[in-house]
Amino acid sequence: MAEIQSPLPGVFYRSPSPDKDPFVQDGDPVETGQVIGLIEVMKQFSEVRSDAAGTLRAFEVADGDMVNPGDVIAVVAES
């Protein structure tokens, strides 16, 4: 299992905007480098990318939750 951690503090979002579908959902396949969400810091958005290829097991934070550097955002079962 690989843990995807927050690189910075801010608000985590699972989709590019409120009216768009999430980047990925639990159970979806993910590739190394694939965007799984965004972190907003003072109106600037930074992409959160998967560090591993496999299946997204679960998000550890909810959409709109605050995260800090090092917090686990999601878990990937590596393939």
In tens, the pLDDT along 13-44 reads 999 998 999 999 999 999 999 999 999 999 99
3 state DSSP class of 17: coil
DSSP conformational letter for 70: T
The boundaries of the domain holding residue 17 are 2-78
CATH number for position 51: 2.40.50.100
In tens, the pLDDT along 41-70 reads 999 999 999 999 999 999 999 999 999 999
Report the pLDDT value the prediction gives residue 79, as an integer from 0 to 100: 82
The residue behind tokens 């480098």 is: 33
Q: How many CB atoms lie within 10 A of CB 65?
A: 13
Q: Are 46 and 35 in contact (CB under 8 A)?
A: no
Number of domains in the chain: 1
Q: Where are the alpha helices (DSSP H) in 5-72?
A: none
